[in-house]
Structure 1
Amino acid sequence: MSGFIMLKHIKHLNLQYFIKNLPQLSHIMFMEPSYSLQIYHKYSYEYKNGNSNCDDRTHKNLQNYKFKCNSNQKNKEEFNYPSISEETLLALAEYFESFEEHCDSNYDVTYSDGVLTINLPQKQGIYVINKQAPNRQIWLSSPISGPKRYDLVNGIKWVYASDGVSMHELLNKEIPTFISSKKKDIDFTILPFGGKS
């Protein structure tokens, strides 16, 4: 297992593997800090009870991991979700509207009450992007890749925890499939919280 490690796999890893891959695990700590802390406590308990062969240096790394988890939990709780999610969706709505001249009459963009709906040209499907306030996330439903849930990472972009790909990167990949070849300069990542701002 390498690259982006999904949370559902981590709880099955032994302590040595867990410590070795801490740099990779840091990618998911912001998105699921409370669960990350549960993982820390599991392995810290094994260390304290002599159920592993890790040394003091390894235990120190565990302590650093806990600090990062606590810090990321605080950051996730403190960022201004209502303002940032609204700015994100409004910018997306305006950008999608700019494609109208390159599409047929079936293309339609609406944004209301935190829900952005994009009816694609030639009735090729519908994208729905909406706020999910209880989880402080943005959810997206794609006719190509299906449903995804995005968390704000480092205050700059919305990322899907399962693959590490941002929402705007996904749109960069999928939307040109539906838009006329006349519109060649599509780049969602330049928008607010798209990763480049």
Structure 2
Amino acid sequence: MATRSLRRKVFRALSSLQSSSNSIEATQNLSLSLLTEEEYHTLANSTIHDLLEKLEEYGDCVDIDGFDVDYGVKWTNLHGYNEVLTLKLGDLGTYVINKQTPNRQIWMSSPVKYMNGT
């Protein structure tokens, strides 16, 4: 229930940003001030665990060579120990999802590169 109320708090705050004339600055201020570090970890962990469950269910339904989902604590030089979700899709690449606590975000690295074509 606490996670649900945190999500509502975030969605209300994000909705108010739509009318902001300087949304980039407002988003940065929101991400650092809206949630305490403890609230952020609660919400981020819940979100990543929900994603993990959905990806595991998806993995049971598809036939992709090399499909694997891994979640665990990994060492990073920048942040020390951090929880990381790794999704391997064989020839389609590997995606890594982890928390970025200083800016209260969840990041995803992707093997897909987008080019701005003309």
Q: TM-score, normalised by structure 2?
A: 0.60
Q: Distance in 2 between matches of 1:74 and 1:119?
A: 34
| Corresponding residue for residue 108 of structure 1 | 68
CA 95–81 in structure 1, closer or farther in 2 if over 3 Å, else same: same
| Corresponding residue for residue 43 of structure 2 | 84
| Corresponding residue for residue 14 of structure 2 | none
**Shift of the alpha carbon at 1:104?**
2.5
- Aligned pairs, number: 86
Give secondary structure in 1 for the equivalent of 2:112: coil
Q: Distance in 1 between matches of 2:54 and 2:20?
A: 33
- Structure 1 segments of 4 or more deviating over 2 A? 22-31, 76-79
Structure 2 unaligned regions, length at least 5? 1-17, 74-82
| Corresponding residue for residue 28 of structure 2 | 32
Is the Cα–Cα contact under 8 Å of residues 117 and 128 in structure 1 kept in the other structure?
yes
Task: Identify the structure with bigger relative contact order (alpha carbons < 8 Å, sequence gap 6+).
Answer: 2
Q: Which has the higher strand share?
A: 2
RMSD, aligned α-carbons:
2.6
Q: Distance in 2 between matches of 1:145 and 1:89?
A: 23
Structure 1 unaligned regions, length at least 5? 1-21, 34-71, 147-197
| Corresponding residue for residue 117 of structure 1 | 86
State whether structure 2 residue 4 is matched by structure 1 residue 23.
no
Sequence identity of aligned pairs in percent?
A: 35
